[in-house]
C-alpha cells in the first residue's frame, strides 16, 4: 500500500511542501547497520545496502540531514513513489557525480603500479556513494574504461572504481576493504564489507563473491530508477 509521507516542517502549506520537496535527497547506507531504523524510514533495498531519503538543511557552514520517516507530522501530500522520484531527481541534478583519479583526491603522488584507481562521488564529496546507482552512469564509466568494473565501497561518501584486470581478485579487494573499514573509517560512515561488480553485459551492480561469479541480490536497477524520473 502506498503511504503518504510526512515530515516535521512546521505549518502545512503548499508553498512549504514544495520547498521541502526540493530538498529531499538519496543516501546509500548499510542495510544491516540501519535495519532497526529502516522499519520507520522510507527506503529501498539494493543488495546489502539501502537507499534512504533525507531532508537537507543548511545551517551556516554545516549541512544538516534528517531521514524521512512514515510518522505523521506536517503533510507533504505526496505518495511514496512521488517522494522517491523527487529524491532521485534532486540528487542526480543537484548532486552531480564526479570521478577523478585517487591521487588527485589525496593530493599526493601514489606509486604507479599500472592500476587505474578512481574515486566516484558527488561535487561536495558528501554522501556521494549513492552515485553508483545513478542511471546510466556505470555504463558510461565502463565504456570509457572499456571494462567491467569493481566498485569498492570506501565509505558512505564515495566509492573507488577499478577496471577489471586478470591479476586483481575479489578476495584481495575484500580483505583491503575490511582492513580500511576497521582502521580508517568512522563506524557510522562504513558502507559495506563487500565489494561490487558492474557488468556491462547485464548493466547491473551486484555483490562479487570473489569466485568469478556474482551474487545478484539487487531488487532494483538503474533502468528502474530512470523510469521514475
Kindly list the distances between the CA atom of residue 67 and the CA atoms of 28, 63, 125, in Å, as whole numbers in the listed order: 12, 13, 19
Q: What is the pLDDT of residue 212?
A: 41
d(CA 152, CA 44): 21
What is the per-residue pLDDT across 188-201, written as a single tens digit (0 to 9) for each? 999 999 999 999 99
Q: What is the pLDDT of residue 112?
A: 53
Check residues 73 and 224 and name the one with the higher pLDDT: 224
Q: Residue 131 above 60 pLDDT?
A: yes
Kindly list the distances between the CA atom of residue 29 and the CA atoms of 32, 43, 120, in Å, as whole numbers in the listed order: 9, 10, 16
End-to-end, the C-alpha distance of the chain in Å comes to: 21
Alpha carbons within 13 A on the beta-carbon side of 157: 10
Pairs from 36-39 (Cβ < 8 Å, separation ≥ 24): 37/67
Please compute the mean of the pLDDT values over residues 148-154 and round it to a whole number: 94
Check residues 228 and 186 and name the one with the higher pLDDT: 186
Nearest in space to 210 (alpha carbons), one of 159, 167, 171, 173: 171
Check residues 16 and 156 and name the one with the higher pLDDT: 156
Check residues 42 and 190 and name the one with the higher pLDDT: 190
Q: Which of 4-13, 32-41, 62-71, 104-113 has the lowest mean pLDDT?
A: 4-13
Nearest in space to 168 (alpha carbons), one of 126, 212, 205, 138: 212
Q: Residue 71 above 80 pLDDT?
A: no
Q: What is the pLDDT of residue 191?
A: 97
Q: Residue 208 above 60 pLDDT?
A: yes
Cα angle 32, 34, 37 (rounded to 5 degrees) comes to: 130
Give residue limits of the domains in the chain. 4-94, 97-228
pTM: 0.79
Q: Residue 72 above 70 pLDDT?
A: no
3 state SS of 69: strand
Q: What is the pLDDT of residue 15?
A: 54
Q: What is the pLDDT of residue 229?
A: 36
Check residues 34 and 74 and name the one with the higher pLDDT: 34
Greatest CA separation found in the chain?
59
Amino acid at each position: 500500500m502506498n503511504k503518504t509521507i510526512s515530515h516535521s516542517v512546521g505549518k502545512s502549506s503548499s508553498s512549504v511542501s514544495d520547498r521541502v520537496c526540493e530538498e529531499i535527497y538519496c543516501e546509500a547506507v548499510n542495510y544491516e547497520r540501519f535495519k532497526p531504523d529502516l522499519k520507520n524510514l522510507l527506503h529501498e533495498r539494493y543488495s546489502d545496502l539501502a537507499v534512504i531519503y533525507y531532508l537537507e538543511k543548511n545551517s551556516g557552514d554545516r549541512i544538516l540531514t534528517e531521514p524521512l520517516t512514515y510518522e505523521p507530522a506536517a503533510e507533504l501530500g505526496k505518495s511514496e513513489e512521488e517522494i522517491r522520484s523527487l529524491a532521485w531527481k534532486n540528487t542526480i541534478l543537484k548532486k552531480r557525480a564526479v570521478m577523478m583519479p585517487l591521487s588527485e583526491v589525496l593530493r599526493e603522488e601514489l606509486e604507479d603500479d599500472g592500476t587505474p584507481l578512481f574515486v566516484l562521488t558527488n561535487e561536495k564529496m558528501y554522501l556521494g556513494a549513492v552515485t553508483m546507482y545513478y542511471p546510466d552512469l556505470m555504463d558510461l564509466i565502463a565504456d570509457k574504461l572499456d571494462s567491467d568494473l569493481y566498485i569498492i565501497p570506501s565509505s558512505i561518501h564515495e566509492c573507488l572504481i577499478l577496471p577489471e584486470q586478470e591479476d586483481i581478485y575479489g578476495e584481495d579487494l575484500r580483505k583491503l576493504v575490511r582492513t580500511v573499514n576497521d582502521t580508517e573509517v568512522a563506524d557510522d560512515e562504513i558502507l559495506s564489507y563487500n565489494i561490487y561488480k558492474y557488468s556491462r553485459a547485464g548493466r547491473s551492480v551486484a555483490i562479487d563473491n570473489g569466485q568469478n561469479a556474482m551474487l545478484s541480490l539487487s531488487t532494483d536497477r538503474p533502468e528502474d530508477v530512470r523510469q521514475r524520473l
